[in-house]
A and B are shown apart, each in its own frame.
Chain A
Amino acid sequence: EAGVTQFPSHSVIEKGQTVTLRCDPISGHDNLYWYRRVMGKEIKFLLHFVKESKQDESGMPNNRFLAERTGGTYSTLKVQPAELEDSGVYFCASSQWTERTDTQYFGPGTRLTVL
């Protein structure tokens, strides 16, 4: 079974440009999460989808970030316009809630560098 995949693995852009990150969750997983780790800090929650609906987007830093999950399958995270402080590793995770467990499977991450 394929795991969570993310594209691209690495993106280098200039301040003010737009970048779109993509996440393909494990097939059949209704829950999809975005996280971010900036240099020297802990991994921070950004938002959570249940199918195509945003369940919790309390971690989104500001309105320059837009996440979508059309059709409840893959998700995109767009940063527009990018700022220097947006640099970091963006992780996607997916899960299928069963009783008390919610094992989240993480992708390898997209390393974003804003110059």
Chain B
Amino acid sequence: QKEVEQDPGPLSVPEGAIVSLNCTYSNSAFQYFMWYRQYSRKGPELLMYTYSSGNKEDGRFTAQVDKSSKYISLFIRDSQPSDSATYLCAMMNTGGFKTIFGAGTRLFVKA
């Protein structure tokens, strides 16, 4: 079983839609939860960084962490064609630097 499960998609939505991306994980030691965005032929770019449980909002992006269910989500409001990319969830233990990535979800936002 993988430590982090993420549906690879692809996910196709119309412009302006609310997008929901999710990951589940099995390691209860994870304390840091990240979402990265990766455009084609580029490296991953950090979007959101959350410590432990709760919600975090940054502009059109909201990250949620539910440690009791081992489930994290990223919501994108008013999606734009420029949001089309691969979104990767990632996690880390406390005191560790080793990041565990999900497989990434490919998102297409159609104008």
Contact = CB atoms under 8 A, between A and B. Distances in A.
Given A4-B43, A43-B44, A108-B41, 13 more contacts: A31-B97, A33-B97, A42-B102, A42-B104, A43-B88, A44-B101, A56-B98, A58-B98, A59-B98, A91-B43, A102-B32, A106-B43, A108-B42
Select the residue from A41, A48, A104, A106 with max chain B CB neighbours within 10 A. Answer: A104
Given A41-B103, A100-B51, A48 B97 contact: yes
B76 interface: no
Interface of A: 4, 31, 33, 35, 41-45, 48, 55-56, 58-59, 91, 93, 100-109
A34 to B, nearest CB: 12
Nearest to A106: B43
Interface of B: 2, 4, 6, 32, 36, 41-46, 49, 51, 88, 92, 96-104
Nearest to B102: A42
Contacts of A91: 43-44
A29 to B, nearest CB: 12
Contacts of A48: 97-98
